[in-house]
Amino acid sequence: MRNRMIAGNWKMNKTFSEAVVLAEGLAKELAGGTGDVDVVVAPPTVDLKGVAEVIEKEEAPFALSAQNVYWEEAGAYTGETAPNMLEAIGATYCIIGHSERRDYFGETDEDINKKAKALMAHGIVPISCCGESLEIREAGTHVEFVVDQIKKDTAGLEIADPAKYVIAYEPIWAIGTGKTATADDAQEVCGAIRKTLVEIFGEETAAGIRVLYGGSANPSNIAGFLEKEDVDGALVGGASLKADGFADMVRSAMA
Ligand code: 13P
């Protein structure tokens, strides 16, 4: 019903040539195919073209994602990238609302909602991130916090094909800290996200939307997350920067 997804967020790592080497390594690792698992890599914007070329040349079984987008089509927005530019370069996914963008660059749920709409208008699949801070987790209000983010981030979206909208639950306290949420922690929130999606979009659409877990996911802990009913894969940071380890995570999802 829902294909699993393993997505690698390279964040601000890898120069152009390093990104090409990593993509080539991953293409080699995954040359045998990825079964029903959708694999996605998200290099920095300036590396997208290089990775797109590797995917084409090697017929690599993974898709290309950007890490950010602006919602306008064109114009005087220095430093930004428009959805049609991503489309033209071969990006079929785009991460939006990552906590690092929310925290360091002041992105709001309203911005993220506009970005989702702009991407979907171009047929690019948003991977929309949500997740609570340690403070919120310790206050015990994490479920309602994330549910509120989901409601705002999806406001007014029309999802014709549920495979084309992806959510990533990334508790901020687990990102890059080596401190993972437990699989039960992930299920608690991913289950609440699914319930919210049912309320907003109805059973059928909600059943087709992938909800990923992210936050110190790695080859040794991924299997535990994937066992959970509402966890459909992972958005991987640090562990996506090594082709062999990331490919191992894909293989775990194929099992
Ligand atoms: P880490 O896997 O490095 O914790 O990063 C997770 C993340 O933020 C992916 O978007």
Beta bridge partners of 50: none
Asked if residue 178 has pLDDT above 80, the reply is: no
Which pLDDT score is estimated for 230? 98
Mutate to test the pocket of ligand 1, among 68, 170, 218, 242 (most ligand atoms within 8 A of CB): 170
Q: Is the pTM of this model over 0.95?
A: yes
* Catalytic hit among 29, 98, 122, 142: 98
Asked whether the predicted pLDDT for residue 176 surpasses 90, the reply is: no
Nearest CA to ligand 1 atom 2: 237
Chain CA centroid to CA 70, Å: 17
Closest-lying ligand 1 atom to the alpha carbon of residue 168: 10
Is 73 one of the catalytic residues? no
What kind of fold does domain 5-254 have according to CATH?
TIM Barrel (3.20.20)
What is the model's pLDDT at position 179?
78
Does the beta carbon of 216 sit less than 6 angstroms from any atom of ligand 1?
yes
Q: Hey, whose CA ends up nearest to atom 5 of ligand 1? A: 237
| Calpha distance 95→167 (Å, rounded) | 9
CA of 175 to the centre of ligand 1 (A): 5
* DSSP string of the chain, one letter each residue: ----EEEEE-TT---HHHHHHHHHHHHHHTTT--TT-EEEEE--GGGHHHHHHHHHHHT-S-EEEES---SSSSSS-TT---HHHHHHHT--EEEE--HHHHHHH---HHHHHHHHHHHHHTTPEEEEEE---HHHHHHT-HHHHHHHHHHHHTTT---SSGGG-EEEE--GGGTTSS-PPPHHHHHHHHHHHHHHHHHHH-HHHHHHSEEEEESS--TTTHHHHHTSTT--EEEESGGGSSHHHHHHHHHHHH-
Quick one: pLDDT at residue 138? 92
Query: Which of 67, 64, 57 has its CA nearest to residue 40?
Result: 64
Distance 176 CA to ligand 1 centre (A): 6
- Confidence class of residue 253 from pLDDT cuts 50, 70 and 90? very high
Q: Whose CA is nearest to atom 9 of ligand 1?
A: 237
Average pLDDT over residues 222-249: 98
Out of 29, 107, 132, 170, the active site residue is: 170
The predicted pLDDT at position 240 comes to: 98
The domain limits of the chain are: 5-254
> Which pLDDT belongs to residue 234?
98
The β-bridge partners of 126 are: 94
Q: Is 144 a catalytic residue?
A: no
The atom number, within ligand 1, closest to the CA of 238 reads 3
For residue 187, what pLDDT is reported? 98
Q: Taking 80 as the threshold, does the pLDDT of residue 104 lie above it?
A: yes
Q: Ligand 1: does its nearest atom lie under 6 Å from the Cβ of 217?
A: yes
Name the percent of the chain lying above pLDDT 70.
100
Residues in Cβ contact with 66 at an 8 Å cutoff, skipping those fewer than 6 apart: 42, 45, 48, 81, 86, 91, 93, 94, 95, 124
